[in-house]
Amino acid sequence: MKLTLLFGRICSGKSSLYKDSYRIVVSDLVRGIINSTSREELQNTMHLDSKIAESIVMVIDNATEHPHIVVDGIRQATIVNKVLQHYPDAELVWLEVPVEERKRRYEARGAKKDTELFEVADNKPIELECQDIFRIFKQQLRVINN
């Protein structure tokens, strides 16, 4: 089994890449943990890092029959550390997309959940956490220009 931890800023194409792989979407796990669909609550979960990491590991452990598992949407480096303790050979992939393209994608969504201006959504602290992941794991992180 190959495991990929997929990272990137808002609208970098995380949901589009590796479509044929078994996907673990972290926001779906968090929704189940906190029993909420509020975007604000989903983004303020740092106090749940251990519980989120345990849930990710449990889902991976139960899906090992899949040849490629992709974990999409980890935002905290502490969660990455905990997952890597269980799966040290996981591939870390960072999607790099120019800001102009990400803004175009954001505005093209037209989704009701995306009511904020792109600049507000792009500068949320939870999104900036991804930069910490990039710095911490620069040695083993593969960057894909998407």
Q: Per-residue pLDDT averaged across 46-67, rounded?
A: 90
Average pLDDT over residues 118-142: 65
What is the token pair recorded at 85? 């303790």
* Higher pLDDT among residues 67 and 81, named by residue: 67
Helix (H) or strand (E) run with residue 42 in it: helix 39-43
The answer to whether 34 and 42 have CB atoms below 8 angstroms apart is: yes
Q: How many domains does the chain have?
A: 1
Burial of 14 (0-12, 13-18, 19+ CB in 10 A): buried
Q: Which domain holds residue 33?
A: 2-145
Predicted pLDDT of residue 113: 61
* pLDDT, the chain, mean: 80
Report the CATH number at residue 52.
3.40.50.300
**Residue 123, φ and ψ in degrees, nearest 5:** -105, 10
**pLDDT score at 66:** 95
Between 64 and 126, the higher pLDDT residue: 64
